[in-house]
Structure 1
Amino acid sequence: MLLNVEDYRRAARKQLPRFVADYIDGAADDGLCLRRNLSDLAAITLTPRVLRDTSRVDTSIQVFGTRWTSPFGVAPTGLNGLVRPGGDALLAAAAAKAGVPFALSTASNMRLEEVRAAAAAGVQWMQLYVMHRGVAEHIVQRAKACGYQALVLTVDVPVSGNRELDVRNGFRLPFKPTPRLAWDLLTHPRWSLRMARSGAPSFANLTAHGNAADTASVQAALLTRAMDRTVVWDTLDWLRKSWPGPLLLKGLLHEDDARRALAQGVDGLIVSNHGGRQLDAAPSAISALPAVVAAVQGKIPIFMDSGVRRGSDVAKAIALGATAVFLGRPMLYGLAARGAAGAQAVLQALQDELVRAMVLMGASKISDLQSSLESTR
């Protein structure tokens, strides 16, 4: 019986070849940052308040003029087509059905126009990596043309984290045949059959730009996260010229960077350490959240990802000042285990857990959590 995110994680690892499961679960170096994300969230306690009317519980919030049913969304994750063919569209549709936002990664395996059309009624944001400024500008223009509501610039990947599990597993695209890979595929026939039918995933948003040589080099840069390291604070002015909507930065942990972002006119921040996949010595996202919240003084919304596994984790982040959280690995576990139904089930499980936590805390609406900082320690 699959009841929670951890159940779906175990089910996903049974469904996926080891190199794919390790790609999802893996982290940088020794995995210390990943474990801090989980342990620091687990260490936070919420003190219930009693004899409050919770006969009705409203988990909805307003973000950039749009209503979300719940204070969480689907984070941008790359290579979703490796988890399940059409994974990007399946996740977008699950988010739309749940009434929460979906953020599409530059490293998606479906064209951004296809994903937008697959869940046209949903709130969709576009995440941006900058490997090549011409390619990035082309992606931004396409996202604007087909109705993505916000642009999320990921800023914590000037170079790829040292993900040793991927190195040990020989993870690369295209796949290089080895006896170990062959055995991995043979022992996971359902996944292998789906991949055989759909073909190996590619970075679909890069194939429409430039000549074949340029496309190949940019795709290789994306896989290895070889980003344009000349992208600095002043580069945001360049993005603003191409993107008129809300612009968010994803991957901040330092309060001074938050203040600089505010001064640069950024519309929102996502406190994140990339799920522990970049700097292993980085602090947990939840421990960095309060200082970032204090730095911006409520002038822009602050979101968080990295380590959220329970609805109570969502409540903890909100109590510490987050507007909402984004979910990465949990959604991939659901997608791997049961496809679209699994993704929907994970969102529903987190929603049910959040409502239960709110009732137990005596909170009937999200603002009750946001005003309960004194109950958090």
Structure 2
Amino acid sequence: MSALDKALTINELMAIAKRRVPKQFFDYADSGSWTEGTYRANSEDFSQIKLRQRVAVNMEGRTLATTICGEQASMPVALAPTGFTGMQSADGEIKAARAAEKFGVPFTLSTMSICSIEDVAENTGKPFWFQLYMMRDRGFIERLIDRAKAAKCSALVLTMDLQILGQRHKDLRNGMSAPPKFTPRFVFEMARKPQWAMQMLGTKRHTFRNIVGHVDAAGDLSKLSAWTASQFDPALSWKEIAWVKERFGGPVIVKGILDPEDARQAVAHGADGIIVSNHGGRQLDGAPSSIRVLPEIVDAVGNSTDVYVDGGIRSGQDVLKAMALGAKGTFIGRAFLWGLGAGGEAGVTRALEIIRRELDITMALCGERDIKAVGLHNIYSIDLPPRNSPLGANG
């Protein structure tokens, strides 16, 4: 039995990935901004939510099937958009999209992916979602949306919380880039990770293929970094939602919501769904965890739109807790990245299998047979202090 097959938890997949993926790319996944307080709180706060166990309940005929943004899903989990995915494993976005498609859950491709929209579309058979950053070059954004439409992407995820880049110290210290700079340190890393290196030598996808060749100012690698750094739009406003919806012609989910007032603004400006998210703790360090603010955001929007959540989900129990607090679905980022780093497409599948098994068992022990029936009645207690109390601020 392989190490991948023996892995029973997401943390065990993480340990395998750490051995196989070069440090700068592993650190990219396993890090937050500044002190990483919000990054840690994202997962730690789930442990403060206690579940209500029920017994002598018929547990036969259980189902995890649901819908996410109107699409059928085998469980309430989608793969979140993550940058540099193709640096965790060669052609990583293609591998993750294939695993998601076979498993019956949505896959979301990042603007800052290594494999392009076209690469993923050519190697999958089911429409996927595309995540969009608004950039200053609106001509490029128009073309990007049009490319997503041509690839038959079924939804856009508009990320609103990256107008300016957070203080990501690990990335700066590691000299993160795509393709990586061949410093003596990185050459040494490749020698220690020969399987990763050989796979990378076998693919032509080493840089941000959604950008290079599609923007004159970033037409070669020497100009890419400067162009990207200058493009995130500090003047982003709510009116962009309507503009994106009109251009795309399909559902637009707004990601990066962490405040009830922002949630109401997103809905008022046409969001077809919102994702409660602090960018995995990689933007504003000291912000609350996603799970902490989820209930008040659900209350703020009521039935006006579906609310999803990402950040800190490491198990099927975390998925159930999020559903109990009102989420219609969850997005996983690091959990599938560690599976990808541990074993490529098979590793992503293993991550999804782990979460599905944990979710099914937890749901049964909570006395439920249908994931859509999970709610506040499945929570025994929430040991999180109120967000507006002195103890409620994560740092």
Equivalent of 1:272 in 261, 277, 296: 277
Q: Distance in 1 between matches of 2:379 and 2:274?
A: 24
Per-residue deviation, residues 245-294 of structure 1 (Å, max 9, x unmatched): 11111011000000111111211000011111111111100001011100
| Change over 3 Å in CA distance of 1:352–1:374 after alignment to 2 | closer
Q: Distance in 2 between matches of 1:327 and 1:222?
A: 29
| Change over 3 Å in CA distance of 1:276–1:325 after alignment to 2 | same
- 1:125 correspondence with 2:113: no
Q: Cα offset for 1:71?
A: 0.4
**Counterpart for residue 332 of structure 2:** 327
Q: TM-score, normalised by structure 2?
A: 0.90
**Counterpart for residue 84 of structure 1:** 89
Q: Cα offset for 1:368?
A: 2.1
Per-residue deviation, residues 30-60 of structure 1 (Å, max 9, x unmatched): 1101110111011111111222221111111
- 1:370 correspondence with 2:375: yes
**Counterpart for residue 178 of structure 2:** 173
Q: Distance in 1 between matches of 2:296 and 2:32?
A: 25
Q: Distance in 2 between matches of 1:117 and 1:16?
A: 26
Equivalent of 2:341 in 336, 344, 352: 336
**Counterpart for residue 55 of structure 1:** 60
Task: Summarize the alignment of residues 1-377 of structure 1 with structure 2, pairs less than 5 Å apart.
Answer: 1-121=6-126, 123-131=127-135, 132-199=137-204, 201-211=206-216, 213=218, 219-220=224-225, 224=229, 226-370=231-375, 372=377, 375-377=380-382
Percent same amino acid at aligned positions? 37
Per-residue deviation, residues 77-109 of structure 1 (Å, max 9, x unmatched): 111111111111110111111111000101111
SS of corresponding position for 2:172: helix
| Change over 3 Å in CA distance of 1:119–1:376 after alignment to 2 | farther
Q: Cα offset for 1:66?
A: 2.0
Q: Distance in 1 between matches of 2:123 and 2:21?
A: 25
SS of corresponding position for 1:259: helix
Per-residue deviation, residues 340-366 of structure 1 (Å, max 9, x unmatched): 111101101100100000000001001
| Change over 3 Å in CA distance of 1:376–1:267 after alignment to 2 | farther
Q: Amino acid of the residue matched to residue 50 of structure 1?
A: V
SS of corresponding position for 2:131: strand
Q: Distance in 1 between matches of 2:295 and 2:141?
A: 32
| Change over 3 Å in CA distance of 1:124–1:341 after alignment to 2 | same
Number of matched pairs: 376
| Change over 3 Å in CA distance of 1:340–1:223 after alignment to 2 | farther
Q: Amino acid of the residue matched to residue 79 of structure 1?
A: F
Q: Distance in 2 between matches of 1:252 and 1:303?
A: 10
Q: Distance in 2 between matches of 1:232 and 1:217?
A: 31
Q: Cα offset for 1:214?
A: 6.0
Q: Distance in 2 between matches of 1:36 and 1:51?
A: 35
SS of corresponding position for 1:153: strand
Q: Which runs of 4+ in 1 moved over 6 A?
A: none
Q: Cα offset for 1:126?
A: 0.7
Q: Amino acid of the residue matched to residue 373 of structure 2?
A: D
Contact 2:245 2:251 in 1 (8 A): no
Q: Distance in 2 between matches of 1:151 and 1:75?
A: 12
SS of corresponding position for 1:205: coil
Q: Cα offset for 1:17?
A: 1.4
Q: Which moved more, 1:257-266 or 1:62-71?
A: 62-71
**Counterpart for residue 3 of structure 2:** none
Which runs of 5 or more structure 2 residues have no equivalent in the other structure? 1-5, 383-395
Q: Cα offset for 1:183?
A: 1.7
| Change over 3 Å in CA distance of 1:15–1:261 after alignment to 2 | same
Q: Distance in 1 between matches of 2:40 and 2:20?
A: 24
Q: Cα offset for 1:375?
A: 3.7
Which runs of 5 or more structure 1 residues have no equivalent in the other structure? none
| Change over 3 Å in CA distance of 1:213–1:326 after alignment to 2 | closer
Q: TM-score, normalised by structure 1?
A: 0.95
Cα RMSD, aligned residues only: 1.9
Contact 1:157 1:225 in 2 (8 A): no
